[in-house]
Each structure stands twice: as structure tokens, then as C-alpha cells.
């Protein structure tokens, strides 16, 4: 398994540019190509009129929301060459692609199991919460998703979160492959969930990745999310990799979830892994 291609959802917003910049750093180290993707979305239907307000006969229908497909296409034709040229100067092969359709569906359709999708943390992919675009994309995508949070940094290490659960094992397997592909050293962050004994998690992490450095930050009684946040503050050059959304939707709705907290609070690029690598 290797990262063959990084697909960047790109609309030239500041957040999309940040995701693209993180993708460039990773592509340089991994030898991957980049596809910079612009999805031309169909118009969002106007809101239904308030039934308590009388309709004026002969009045024009409400205006559609957002730019038209042609306006989006013209904008993409101006902006994508800029991204391709930026990548070329960085020594990365980059291909532009413009498609028309629904954002999540088109990104997931284009991606394969050996790809990586990169998106901004906010904007169209705002606040990874229940029902958000980020949550939906991670659920549908056949590959991991990089969420570009925090300022751009020179990446040189893989930091994988491991708590012994199935998805953290998926994340660790993917991290091992990434470490081999990039040459970056792998550090495993052992975190404890409620009722876990730290010594047991540390041993499981070392058994699963015997060549890696295994570390732990923060008191055992801290939440898993807080342990990750503390570690990320100390790992300025690390790409954070973790299993995505292991908590039930009900738990996340009422109490929040580890993935939600990390995306909202950790100032580092985060790769979310939901499936076992092929």
C-alpha cells in the first residue's frame, strides 16, 4: 500500500489553500501526485416560503443561492492553473480536474483506496459535527481524509494515535506504510480510554509497532481527546494520524467525540483513517 495520489478539494478559499499546502508537503515526501479538484455544485434550492406570510400573485420566484454552474466553471478556469503552477514550482506533479455534481459524491467517486483526500477544516467542510460535510465525506470515502487544520509547517514525522481499538489499528497500519514511503520516523502516541491501564496500552502499541517510538502525554485520567491535544502541542513537525469517529453518533451528539474535538482544537494536519488499508 502507498499513497498514489492526493486529491485536494479546492475552491481557492484560504482554507482550501491551506489544505493544498499541506498536501504539497506530503506529496514532496511521498512522491505522490496531486489532483486538484473543483466540484461545480448544482444550485441549492431556495428555502420554502413561510406559510404564515401571504404570497403576492405574480411575484418572481426567490433567487437561487450561490453562483451558477457557468460562474463556478469560469472561476475554476482562473484558479486551478494557479494551483498547478504552485505545485510545479514545488516539484510536485499536479493535475486539475473540474466535475459537475454533488460535492461529497464526486470526491468519493474519484478517490480510490490508495488515495488520500485533503480538505480544509472549515468553510464548506465546516466544524466536523453530526451531519457535517466532513463527517459525510469520511463515511463515504474509500480512503483516508486529511483535514488541514493549523498553520503550515515543515512535516518530518508521523504521529499515530493508538488506543488498542480496531480503528486505531487501522490508523497504525496506514501510518507504517506512510513512514516507509516518506522516510519519516513513526512515533506511536498511546492514549487511554476510560478504564484502560496505561501500561497495557503502551505494551500493545509497542507490540503492534516494534520499530517505532511509543510515547504518552498527560495524566491517565485525562480524556483521550485531551491527551491527543497535549501531544500535538509538543509535536510541531508531526502529521497526526488517527482512527475516525469510533464513538457512536449518539455519544457524539450529546457529549462530543474524540475526532470532533481534535479537528476543532488541535492545530495540526490530521489524517483520519476509517478503514483497514488494502
Q: Looking at the structure, do residues 173 and 216 belong to the same domain, yes or no?
A: yes
Predicted model pTM: 0.84
Give one DSSP letter per residue of the chain, joined into a string: ----EEEEE--SSHHHHHHHHHHHHHHHHHT-EEEEEEEEPPPBPPPPPPTTSPPPTTPPPPPPBS--HHHHHHHHHHHHHHHHHHHHHTT--EEEEEEES-HHHHHHHH--TTEEEEEESSGGG-S--TT-HHHHHHHH-SS-EEEE-SS-----EEEEEE-SSHHHHHHHHHHHHHHHHH---EEEEE---TT--HHHHHHHHHHH-TTSEEE--S-TTS-HHHHHHHHHHH-TTEEEEEE---S-HHHHHHH--HHHHHHHH--S-EEEE-S---
> Which residue range(s) make up the domain with 36?
5-44+68-148
Answer for the pair 174, 273: CB distance below 8 angstroms, yes or no: yes
Q: Looking at the structure, do residues 72 and 182 belong to the same domain, yes or no?
A: no
Q: Looking at the structure, do residues 130 and 188 belong to the same domain, yes or no?
A: no
Report if residue 10 sits inside a domain.
yes
- pLDDT truncated to tens, each residue of the chain (278 aa)? 679 999 999 988 888 888 899 999 999 999 999 999 999 987 544 444 434 334 444 444 444 467 889 999 999 999 999 999 999 999 999 999 999 998 889 999 999 999 999 998 654 554 333 346 777 888 889 999 999 877 777 899 999 999 999 999 999 999 999 999 999 999 999 998 877 788 999 999 999 999 999 999 888 778 888 899 889 888 888 999 999 865 544 444 444 478 777 887 888 889 999 988 87
Report if residue 203 sits inside a domain.
yes
**pLDDT tens digits, 62-98:** 444 678 899 999 999 999 999 999 999 999 999 999 9
Answer for the pair 34, 23: CB distance below 8 angstroms, yes or no: yes
Looking up residue 136, the CATH number of its domain turns out to be 3.40.50.12370
| Number of structural domains found in the chain | 2
Amino acid at each position: 500500500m502507498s499513497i498514489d495520489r492526493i486529491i485536494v478539494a479546492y475552491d481557492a478559499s484560504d482554507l482550501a489553500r491551506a489544505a493544498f499546502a499541506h498536501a504539497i508537503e506530503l506529496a514532496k515526501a511521498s512522491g505522490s501526485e496531486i489532483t486538484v479538484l473543483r466540484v461545480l455544485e448544482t444550485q441549492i434550492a431556495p428555502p420554502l416560503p413561510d406559510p404564515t406570510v401571504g404570497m403576492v400573485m405574480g411575484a418572481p420566484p426567490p433567487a437561487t443561492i450561490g453562483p451558477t454552474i457557468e460562474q463556478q466553471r469560469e472561476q475554476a478556469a482562473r484558479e486551478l492553473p494557479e494551483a498547478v503552477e504552485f505545485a510545479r514550482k514545488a516539484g510536485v506533479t499536479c493535475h486539475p480536474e473540474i466535475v459537475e455534481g454533488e460535492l461529497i459524491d464526486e470526491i468519493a467517486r474519484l478517490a480510490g483506496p490508495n488515495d488520500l483526500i485533503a480538505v480544509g477544516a472549515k468553510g464548506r467542510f465546516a466544524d466536523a459535527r453530526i451531519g457535517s460535510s466532513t463527517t459525510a465525506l469520511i463515511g463515504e470515502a474509500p480512503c483516508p481524509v486529511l483535514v488541514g487544520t493549523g498553520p503550515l509547517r515543515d512535516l518530518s514525522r508521523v504521529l499515530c494515535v493508538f488506543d488498542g481499538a480496531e480503528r486505531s489499528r487501522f490508523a497504525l497500519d496506514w501510518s507504517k506504510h506512510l513512514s516507509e514511503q516518506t522516510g519519516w520516523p513513526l512515533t506511536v502516541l498511546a492514549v487511554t480510554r476510560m478504564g484502560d491501564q496505561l501500561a497495557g496500552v503502551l505494551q500493545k502499541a509497542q507490540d503492534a509497532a516494534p520499530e517505532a517510538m511509543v510515547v504518552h502525554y498527560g495524566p491517565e485520567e485525562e480524556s483521550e481527546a485531551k491527551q491527543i491535544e497535549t501531544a500535538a502541542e509538543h509535536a510541531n513537525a508531526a502529521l497526526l494520524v488517527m482512527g475516525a469517529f469510533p464513538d457512536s453518533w449518539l455519544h457524539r451528539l450529546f457529549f462530543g467525540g474524540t475526532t470532533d474535538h481534535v479537528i476543532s482544537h488541535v492545530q495540526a494536519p490530521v489524517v483520519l483513517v476509517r478503514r483497514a488499508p488494502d
